[in-house]
Structure 1
Amino acid sequence: MDDEFGGCDKKCTFPFDVLSSKNILAVSKCPKLCSVLLISDETDLTVQQLKNGLKNLKTLIGGIYVFSTSFKDLSFLDGLKTLKSKYNGIDISMNENVVELGFKNLTSFTGGSYNVYGNDKLLRLGFPKLKNFTCATKDCYTNVMFSNFMEPKFCVTTQEMKIFMVNKKTTISSYGKVCDLPKNSSNKKMCSVPTVGCEELIGNLTIGAKFDVKKVKSLKILYGSLIMKGTNFTNFNFLPNLTHIAQLDSMLPAIDVQNNKQLKTAKFPKLKRIVCGDYNCAVFKNNNAALLKDLDSCWAIRSAITQDRFFISSSSPLFNNKMCEDLEQKKTTKKTGTTKKSAKKA
């Protein structure tokens, strides 16, 4: 195995193979392991046997693939603290009974991919201690994918979303929802309705004609849609600290701005990233005509979305159903037309 992270003992370097009763004893002796662990329906071990076999494992250089098992939990992964890989990472898929992933002590992930999908009963990702989430080299991106269409209670914590979003070297493809704010929460920096001093809002931010902008002055992260309709605002300067928007509902845009007749620019002071599951991620309709000339704002929003999109049509905001390219072409055409008229007069 090509080990680019410093090497393992030869006795703790194993080829890609299904983890089973034939090799679990050798693996069990390694606190640091170089291997891609493959756990599947061919694994002839129980959760407890896997737990005993992996209890010494703290650092894994390689990857973890868990698929098509009948396990209800993956607690045998609880001891793992560090995972490093250039091309591999974590892939947990098609486990019909699993409820929560077993990474309760994982603090550092450096890898090429993180995929969790097709686990119909999954409720939580379960990374309470994860602090470092990054890619292995300067030129790579970590692909993050998690989804569960079958379980309506499935949700991602704000702590997990922040780790995924704040890292610029991740691409995120996700469908689900962010977990609700715990009842009787004493954390004043988090809220479910706009509140003075709140920095993270879980739920949609709906802005109407009489909205009190003081309530969102401190807002940094919105886990929901920004909906603004029928207001007299001329810009978005009332959101001076908003940096991230994440809407994981595949049926909703992250930004929905309509019928604001005084709105002349779509520029956000500090917006860095928009994560969404909807094809039309940012929608602007029937606002001031000046928005159709605001190309800089269109491209800035496009840049905030494009980190997670591979196709132009799904990353561009829509201004009256027109993409940034359409607006730019229209502006260029007008300039060309003016030049021709001037030439005729001459």
Structure 2
Amino acid sequence: MGPEFSEFSKLKNIEAIFGKLIINGTQLENFKFFENLKFVASFDALKPAILVENNLNLKDIQFPKLERVGIIERVIFNNNSELISTKPEFCERFKKSLKWEFDELLIDKNSCQEFRDFQFAENPKINDLGGLRNLSSIACMNINIWDNSKMKFWNLLKLKTIKYPKNVYTNKNLKIFAFDLDPEFCINSKEMEFFMSNRKLDLDYLDGKYCQLSELDSEVCLIPEVQCKHFLGNLEIGPEFSDFSILKNVEVILGNLIIDGTQLETFEFFENLKFVASLDKSKPPILVENNMNLKDIQFPKLENLTSTNPNSTKFEIYISSESPEFCITIEEMEMLLKIENSDIDHIFGKYCKPEFSETLCKKPEEKCTGYFGDLTISKYSDLNNLEFLEIIYGSLTIKETNFKNLNFLKNLKFVAQMDHKPAIIIQDNPNLVNATFPSLKVIIEFLNLRN
């Protein structure tokens, strides 16, 4: 888009640009004519996805509805008006308007990503972070603790808050990188409990083991007992385990939970379990198998799990049963779907027959946020009530329509079907130019596109 371009009214309906956006040498003052632009997606690694330069009258750099820049997440403003160059608030306006973190935003070669990582690296003689033992809060982009060959522990027992700086707007989790430390490096149980309680931390790159118990770990036990709230080690429940009452107070398992070969029907005895934190790279945090009578897989208060497998950014949950009566309730599936970074493609079973309500339906209706069954949308479908849908417990098929986009499913977050077929099929829609689901987070099984 250059000085000769004048038909800006033709751009008002554009929602996605699959390529680069270049605005160069115009007399524009703002970009309000891009009133519906949401996505710019470029694969050119050598150039920014958005390049705006030599627009000397430019007074505002915001795109009214822009949400995400990718796949190359670089935006450059260069040699525009003096106003843009000298006012730092333009950085914040642009970043705040987006719903997704991007890699680089430059205004006249000055980075708007002024925030840095918390980094402690390449210190071969440091044993711990004891000099920071009173540290209570960290605001940064990532935490990098690596290549400290003598570091055996952190000693950050007073740390209460880890978060992004207040002017960073992102839906990504803050990552903790910890590797190439002393072979005996270990995580204190209180440190891990703090990490687990923070739902916005990504622990996939945390390499270590748990420290041996100390006087600070008075609430931690190695053998299950009635008053035990924090269990250290792998908790294995097999056919010989019988006294489930001693597990009712357990809140945290610092290891793996394995339930194998029991006669259990439910896990109700884990009435207070909140976190399962595994540092074992070879196993899933929770493994439930060979329990022939199992009818319910819900852990009443489970909030978070973690596993530090460096080959995966997700942790896997395996659940299966040989019982023909075994089924998963929609409440259980919803709980599993909402656990961040979970991979639940290894759950084998069927859905239990649900009780339908105002929010759970088998025909899309107003206020219906959950749909049970396979949903097929054609050119004859009524789209008015689909905007309320958030979860489909089954598959979604969109075929033989004249749709240009899928914005009528603007609130759809999860599609979870258990029949080992495509969860989403989008087929024979000749006018479709944008197959993005604005809010979609998780698909169980896979996506099939043919248009």
TM over 0.5: yes
How has the CA–CA distance of structure 1 residues 289 and 124 changed in structure 2, closer, same or farther, with 3 Å as cutoff? farther
C-alpha distance in 1 between matches for 2:233 and 2:198? 22
Partner of 1:181: 213
Partner of 2:317: 282
Partner of 2:428: none
CA contact (8 A) 1:90 1:114 kept: yes
Q: How far apart are 1:92 and its partner, in Å?
A: 2.1
How has the CA–CA distance of structure 1 residues 290 and 87 changed in structure 2, closer, same or farther, with 3 Å as cutoff? farther
Partner residue of 2:128 out of 100, 108, 114: 100
Partner of 2:285: 254
Q: Any idea what the Cα deviations from partners look like across 1:285-306, whole Å, max 9, x if unmatched?
A: 44434556445424423432x2
Q: Any idea what the Cα deviations from partners look like across 1:87-137, whole Å, max 9, x if unmatched?
A: 324122344443212312212222322122333332112213222333333
Partner residue of 1:118 out of 112, 129, 147: 147
How has the CA–CA distance of structure 1 residues 332 and 250 changed in structure 2, closer, same or farther, with 3 Å as cutoff? closer
Greater CA drift, 92-101 or 259-268: 92-101
Query: Residue type matched to 1:237 in 2?
Result: E
2:250 matched to 1:219?
Answer: yes
Q: Between Structure 1 and Structure 2, how many residues are aligned?
A: 239
Q: Mapping of 1:1-346 within 5 angstroms? A: 87-101=115-129, 102-137=131-166, 139-140=169-170, 143-148=174-179, 151-173=182-204, 174-182=206-214, 185=215, 189-209=219-239, 210-278=241-309, 279=312, 281-291=316-326, 293-294=328-329, 296-304=331-339, 306=340, 309=341, 315-316=343-344, 318-320=346-348, 328-330=417-419
How has the CA–CA distance of structure 1 residues 150 and 189 changed in structure 2, closer, same or farther, with 3 Å as cutoff? closer
C-alpha distance in 2 between matches for 1:188 and 1:119? 29
Root-mean-square deviation (CA, aligned residues, Å) is: 3.2
Q: Any idea what the Cα deviations from partners look like across 1:125-182, whole Å, max 9, x if unmatched?
A: 2213222333333854552324336643211112211222212232222222222222
TM-score (norm 2): 0.47
C-alpha distance in 2 between matches for 1:86 and 1:111? 10
Q: How far apart are 1:258 and its partner, in Å?
A: 1.0
Identity %: 26
Structure with the higher strand share, 1 or 2: 2
Structure 2: which 5+ residue stretches go unaligned?
1-112, 351-392, 396-415, 423-451
Query: Residue type matched to 1:207 in 2?
Result: I
Partner of 1:81: none
CA contact (8 A) 2:253 2:276 kept: yes
Partner of 2:357: none
How has the CA–CA distance of structure 1 residues 179 and 187 changed in structure 2, closer, same or farther, with 3 Å as cutoff? closer
C-alpha distance in 2 between matches for 1:328 and 1:254? 23
C-alpha distance in 1 between matches for 2:194 and 2:283? 23
C-alpha distance in 1 between matches for 2:254 and 2:180? 19
C-alpha distance in 1 between matches for 2:394 and 2:122? 40
TM-score (norm 1): 0.60
C-alpha distance in 2 between matches for 1:119 and 1:282? 33
C-alpha distance in 1 between matches for 2:320 and 2:306? 20
Structure 1: which 5+ residue stretches go unaligned?
1-84, 334-346
Q: How far apart are 1:212 and its partner, in Å?
A: 1.2
How has the CA–CA distance of structure 1 residues 186 and 88 changed in structure 2, closer, same or farther, with 3 Å as cutoff? closer
C-alpha distance in 2 between matches for 1:315 and 1:99? 36
CA contact (8 A) 1:103 1:127 kept: yes
Query: Residue type matched to 2:176 in 1?
Result: M
C-alpha distance in 1 between matches for 2:211 and 2:217? 15
Query: Residue type matched to 2:419 in 1?
Result: K
Q: How far apart are 1:199 and its partner, in Å?
A: 0.7
Partner of 1:50: none
Structure with the higher helix share, 1 or 2: 1
Report which structure shows greater RCO (CA 8 Å, sep ≥6): 1
User: For the pair shown, which has the larger CA radius of gyration, 1 or 2?
Assistant: 2
Query: Residue type matched to 2:332 in 1?
Result: S
C-alpha distance in 1 between matches for 2:164 and 2:150? 29
Secondary structure of the 2:246 match is helix
C-alpha distance in 1 between matches for 2:139 and 2:216? 33
Query: Residue type matched to 2:294 in 1?
Result: L
